Amino acid sequence: MVKKKPNILVVNDDGITAPGIKVLLEEMQKIGNVVVVAPDSAQSGMGHAITLGRPLRLDKINLYEGVEMYQCSGTPVDCVKLAVNKVFKGQKPDICVSGINHGLNNSINVLYSGTMSAAVEGAIEGIPSVGFSLDNFSHDADFSYCRPYVISITEQVLANGLPKNTLLNVNFPQTQGFKGIKICRQAGGHWVEEFDERIDPHNRDYYWTTGKFVLQDRGEDTDSFALANGYVSVVPTQFDMTAHHAIPELNSWSFDHLEGTTKHSKGEK
Amino acid sequence: MVKKKPNILVVNDDGITAPGIKVLLEEMQKIGNVVVVAPDSAQSGMGHAITLGRPLRLDKINLYEGVEMYQCSGTPVDCVKLAVNKVFKGQKPDICVSGINHGLNNSINVLYSGTMSAAVEGAIEGIPSVGFSLDNFSHDADFSYCRPYVISITEQVLANGLPKNTLLNVNFPQTQGFKGIKICRQAGGHWVEEFDERIDPHNRDYYWTTGKFVLQDRGEDTDSFALANGYVSVVPTQFDMTAHHAIPELNSWSFDHLEGTTKHSKGEK
């Protein structure tokens, strides 16, 4: 029996010319039919943004021989939406892989990351999806150690599927020779901004966003802990943001006085 | 004993001139010291985007008499970060309220919404935060029925606090006279895109993002159900995106063959 090769959508947020996406598409070509739809410029920190106020471009390009590639003027999430709707024409790919990001997307960075938001969008569309990120912002980052992990994780997702409404957030530490894989939860942490204030030639203030990440969670079951100890972290990630545990507490709040309020407010405006 | 008036940060994503933020700041002035930091243009659909590749402007303006207001060239999340860092100068406000959004942010829209992402960012910064949205996209939307609910919910949050690492996603249905408040979970649903393809005067394709929301969840405990039945929906929302329930299943996957992989791959590159 001949197994059908899977159709693989490759996206990223560093832009279509980034070395990280080249590594990812090269690995994916070993196991499937690859289509790349990626931003035409760097889109780091775009989170789950979509483009509504201006039109989008989607252009087929020939960047690497034998690879079907499209560059998009929009965000990483726009890329996934256009890929599903205009490139795959509603025939969903078997898997959506995003990255490999130049820089970590563990902990709270899952929210800011265009790489992860593209994977989240894939999952929302019902496609098994994985985001990959390496702890190295450099254009010349060495992704070679990631390659066997990328293949193995992708093959396991293709073979096993993923639990309903979940995707994977995979992060690689900046070491040569990983100790293995740890299934983790997202570590608690946040960025403390240090805006770099400057004066332009017209004497007006402006700011560059800079900051440092503050880890607020020493749990040994977190992605931050795994990465700090040389492991590849894999966080099953979901897009249901409901704090289910908080529902009983909120139900104890008293809003009874409001139920008739709208009648009284009718005349106020 | 004189109670200190709370310091209230007001943000939105429709832009600082939107009628919805005027309603919100007017209500907040009744109970606290208000500071508004909002985008200088419409930022709908910006999700959790932050501005990294270009500098930010933050300008004090006098739009409404007696209100401390700043317009920002960045995203809703940038507004919160700049407010905390540059306006409140690290002295966190007692509450962050976002909106009132022109248009619903229930179900999966929590991810795309700049209004909700601003509230999420407030919560990440440790500030009790609430996003408010009305089921009416119109500039001339009638927010008058929302007013007593906005005040009551804000006062309850100030009095009770919120469970750790949670915020509230409040949505108002498009009816005059709400039936009351329902504490809900986020309904399952997604957008099906229908890109509007056009040809520009230079004979190049471009696309406008359009689509329709498809509800995939008939649960009577969801925000979508509450709204459809005339109730104000309140969803406790969290920024831990870990699919905790999926961890055991992923731990059953076999990655053992990888632990030594990196040694072998050293020579490959």
Distance from CA of A2 to the nearest CA of B (A): 25
- CB B111 within 8 Å of CB B76: no
Q: Among residues B254, B84, B194, which one has the least CA distance to residue A209? A: B84
Q: Residue B135 to residues A26, A192, B141, B170: CA-CA distances in angstroms? A: 46, 34, 9, 11
Q: Helices B19-29 and B147-160, interaxial angle, to 10°?
A: 50
DSSP string, chain A: -PPPPPEEEEE-SS-TT-HHHHHHHHHHHTTSEEEEEEESS--TT-TT----SS-B-EEEE-SSTT-EEEEESS-HHHHHHHIIIIISTT---SEEEEEEEES---TTHHHH-HHHHHHHHHHHTT--EEEEEES---TT---GGGHHHHHHHHHHHHHH---TTEEEEEEE-SSSS---EEE-BPPPEEEEE--EEEE-TTS-EEEE--EEEEE----TTBHHHHHHTTPEEEEEEES--B-GGGHHHHHTS--GGGTTHHHHHTTT-
Q: Is A142 annotated as a binding residue?
A: no
Tokens of A109: 């960075």
Residue A89 has what pLDDT?
93
Q: Does the pLDDT value for residue B257 go beyond 90?
A: no
Instruction: Name the CATH architecture for the domain at B7-187+219-264.
Output: 3-Layer(aba) Sandwich (3.40)
Write the class of the CATH domain A7-187+218-263. alpha beta
pLDDT digits (tens, 9 = 90+) for B163-217: 999 999 999 999 888 999 999 999 999 999 999 999 999 999 999 999 999 999 9
Q: What is the mean pLDDT of residues B17-26?
A: 98
Q: Does the pLDDT value for residue A143 go beyond 90?
A: yes
Residue A257 has what pLDDT?
77
Residue B69 has what pLDDT?
98
pLDDT band at B1 (very low <50, low <70, confident <90, very high): low
Number of cross-chain residue pairs from A and B with Cβ atoms under 8 Å apart? 278
pLDDT band at B262 (very low <50, low <70, confident <90, very high): very low
Q: Does the pLDDT value for residue B11 go beyond 50?
A: yes
What lies within 8 Å, CB to CB, of A143 at 6+ separation is: A19, A20, A23, A100, A134
Provide the percentage of residues in chain A whose pLDDT is more than 90.
90
pLDDT band at B232 (very low <50, low <70, confident <90, very high): very high
| C-alpha dihedral (A47, A62, A33, A70), degrees to nearest 10 | 30
Residue B2 has what pLDDT?
61
Which of B40, B43, B178, B209 should one mutate to test binding to chain A, selecting the residue with the greatest count of A CBs within 10 A? B209
Q: Among residues B20, B239, B51, B235, which one has the least CA distance to residue B139? A: B20
User: Which of A22-36, A136-150, B124-138, B247-261 is predicted least confidently?
Assistant: B247-261
Residue B269 has what pLDDT?
35
Which amino acid would we find at residue B178?
F
- Give the gyration radius of chain A's Cα atoms: 21
Provide the percentage of residues in chain A whose pLDDT is more than 70.
95
Determine the Cα–Cα distance for residues B232 and A54; give it in Å rounded to an integer: 32
pLDDT band at B265 (very low <50, low <70, confident <90, very high): very low
| SS3 category, B237 | strand
Pick the residue with more confidence: A161 or A254? Answer: A161
Determine the Cα–Cα distance for residues B79 and B115; give it in Å rounded to an integer: 11
pLDDT band at A252 (very low <50, low <70, confident <90, very high): very high
Contact A243 B176 (CB under 8 A): no
Distance from CA of A35 to the nearest CA of B (A): 19
pLDDT band at A176 (very low <50, low <70, confident <90, very high): confident
**Alpha-carbon torsion A62, A65, A68, A73, what sign?**
negative
Residue B176 has what pLDDT?
80
Contact A176 B47 (CB under 8 A): no
Contact B120 A111 (CB under 8 A): yes
Determine the Cα–Cα distance for residues A208 and B162; give it in Å rounded to an integer: 32
Q: What is the mean pLDDT of residues B80-88?
A: 97
Q: Does the pLDDT value for residue B84 go beyond 90?
A: yes
pLDDT digits (tens, 9 = 90+) for A101-127: 999 999 999 999 999 999 999 999 999
A92 beta partners: none
Q: Helices A19-29 and A147-160, interaxial angle, to 10°?
A: 50
Q: A250 to chain B: which residues are within 8 Å by CB?
A: 168, 183, 234, 236
pLDDT band at B255 (very low <50, low <70, confident <90, very high): confident
Of B108, B144, B263, the CB nearest to A265: B144
Instruction: Give residue A109's Cα distance to chain centre.
Output: 9
| C-alpha dihedral (A57, A60, A62, A65), degrees to nearest 10 | 140
CA distance between the termini of chain B? 71
Q: Does the pLDDT value for residue B263 go beyond 50?
A: no
Which of A86, A155, A207, A269 should one mutate to test binding to chain B, selecting the residue with the greatest count of B CBs within 10 A? A207
Q: Among residues A71, A49, A53, which one has the least CA distance to residue A61? A: A71
pLDDT digits (tens, 9 = 90+) for A195-239: 999 999 999 999 999 999 999 999 999 999 999 999 999 999 999
Residue B267 has what pLDDT?
36
Query: Would you give the DSSP letter of residue B13?
Result: S
Chain A residue closest in CA terms to B54: A208
Q: What is the mean pLDDT of residues B2-29?
A: 95
Q: Is B101 annotated as a binding residue?
A: yes
Q: A262 to chain B: which residues are within 8 Å by CB?
A: 145, 148, 176-178
Strands (E), chain B: 7-11, 33-39, 58-61, 68-72, 95-102, 129-134, 166-172, 181-183, 189-193, 196-199, 205-208, 211-215, 232-238
Q: Is B40 annotated as a binding residue?
A: no
Contact A148 B249 (CB under 8 A): no
pLDDT band at A1 (very low <50, low <70, confident <90, very high): low
Residue B264 has what pLDDT?
42
Q: A51 to chain B: which residues are within 8 Å by CB?
A: 45, 209
Of B144, B246, B262, the CB nearest to A268: B144
pLDDT band at B259 (very low <50, low <70, confident <90, very high): low
pLDDT band at A2 (very low <50, low <70, confident <90, very high): low
pLDDT band at A269 (very low <50, low <70, confident <90, very high): very low
Determine the Cα–Cα distance for residues B136 and B191; give it in Å rounded to an integer: 18
The domain spans of chain B are 7-187+219-264
Q: Does the pLDDT value for residue B256 go beyond 80?
A: no
